[in-house]
C-alpha cells in the first residue's frame, strides 16, 4: 500500500504551519515549528518568489499531508465532489473528513492520523459490529464505530477509559465503552484546519 514516508517535522516546516502529524509532540516545545519555523534545506531562510500556481499547489500539498493522502486518491475526492450538489471545495473536505482513519483520530482513539490509520490497518476497529481495515472507508450517518472487543485491553486503549475529550459536534464517543457514533455529516464549519479549499479547486480547474 502506498503511503507518505517523509519526515513528519520537515513536512510541517515545508508548509509553514503545524500539520499535527506527531500527535501530542506538536503541542509541546519539542515541535520543530516552535524551534525552527523555516523551510527545510540550506536555502530555507531565503526569499522565494511565490507564483499564483505555487500558492495553489502548496495549499493542495498541505491538505494531502494533513490527512496522509496521495495524489491519485486526492484527485478522486475532487472528481467525486465535483459531481455532487453544492460547493465543490466543501464537498471535497467533507468526503475526506468521513474517512475512517480520520474519524478514529477525531474520536481521540489515535493520537495522530498516522497512528489512527495504523489502528485501522491492524483490524482493531469495527463499523456496525464488523471489522473494517480500510482507512479510506467512508462512514455514514448512524454508523457505530468501536474498538474491537478483543483489543480493548491493549494499554493504548485502556488509557482512554474515563478520559474527557472535546468532540466535533458530528461525532460522539463513549470513553468507557470505547464506542462512538456518526451523528451527522461534517460541514465546513466542523473542519477546524487552516485550509483555503478554493485554491485547490482553482488548481484542478486549470
pLDDT 10s digits, 151-182: 999 999 999 988 888 889 999 999 999 999 99
- Cβ neighbours around 109 below 10 Å, total: 25
pLDDT at position 9 over 90: no
| Domain boundaries for CATH 3.10.290.10 within the chain | 99-185
Q: Right CATH number for 1-48 from 1.10.10.350, 1.10.1050.10, 1.10.3720.10, 2.30.40.10?
A: 1.10.1050.10
- Cβ neighbours around 83 below 10 Å, total: 8
Strand (E) positions, the chain?
125-127, 130-131, 144-147, 171-174, 179-182
pLDDT per residue as tens digits for the range 53-108:
988 998 998 899 889 899 999 999 999 999 999 999 999 999 999 999 999 999 99
The reported pTM is 0.80
Q: Containing H/E element for 4?
A: none
* pLDDT confidence bin for 45, thresholds 50/70/90: low
Contacts of 146 (CB under 8 A, 6+ apart): 125, 126, 129, 177, 178, 179, 180
pLDDT at position 42 over 60: no
Phi-psi region of 125 (alpha: psi -120 to 50; beta: other; left: phi over 0): beta
CATH number of 99-185: 3.10.290.10
pLDDT at position 30 over 80: no
Contact 88, 82 (CB under 8 A): yes
pLDDT per residue as tens digits for the range 116-152:
999 999 999 999 999 999 999 999 999 999 999 999 9
Cα–Cα dist 107/145, whole Å: 9
| Domain boundaries for CATH 1.10.1050.10 within the chain | 1-48
Cα–Cα dist 177/143, whole Å: 16
Res 198: pLDDT: 94
pLDDT at position 4 over 80: no
pLDDT at position 1 over 50: no
Res 161: pLDDT: 85
User: Which residues share a beta bridge with 145?
Assistant: 127, 180
Find the DSSP H helices in the chain: 8-15, 32-35, 52-67, 71-83, 88-97, 100-106, 113-121, 155-158, 197-204
Amino acid at each position: 500500500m502506498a503511503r507518505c514516508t517523509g519526515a513528519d517535522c520537515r513536512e510541517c516546516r515545508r508548509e509553514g504551519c503545524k500539520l499535527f502529524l506527531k500527535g501530542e509532540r506538536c503541542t509541546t516545545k519539542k515541535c520543530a515549528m516552535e524551534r525552527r519555523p523555516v523551510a527545510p534545506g540550506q536555502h530555507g531562510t531565503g526569499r522565494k518568489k511565490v507564483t499564483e500556481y505555487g500558492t495553489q499547489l502548496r495549499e493542495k500539498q498541505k491538505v494531502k499531508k494533513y490527512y496522509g493522502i496521495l495524489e491519485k486518491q486526492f484527485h478522486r475526492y475532487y472528481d467525486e465532489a465535483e459531481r455532487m450538489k453544492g460547493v465543490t471545495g466543501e464537498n471535497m473536505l467533507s468526503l475526506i473528513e468521513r474517512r475512517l482513519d480520520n474519524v478514529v483520530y477525531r474520536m481521540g482513539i489515535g493520537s495522530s492520523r498516522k497512528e489512527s490509520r495504523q489502528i485501522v490497518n491492524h483490524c482493531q476497529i469495527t463499523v456496525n459490529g464488523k471489522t473494517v481495515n480500510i482507512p479510506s472507508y467512508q462512514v455514514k450517518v448512524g454508523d457505530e464505530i468501536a474498538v474491537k472487543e478483543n483489543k480493548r485491553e491493549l494499554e493504548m486503549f485502556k488509557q482512554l477509559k474515563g478520559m474527557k475529550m472535546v468532540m466535533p459536534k458530528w461525532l460522539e464517543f463513549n470513553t468507557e465503552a470505547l464506542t462512538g457514533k456518526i451523528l451527522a455529516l461534517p460541514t465546513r464549519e466542523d473542519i477546524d484546519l487552516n485550509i483555503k479549499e478554493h485554491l485547490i479547486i482553482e488548481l484542478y480547474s486549470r
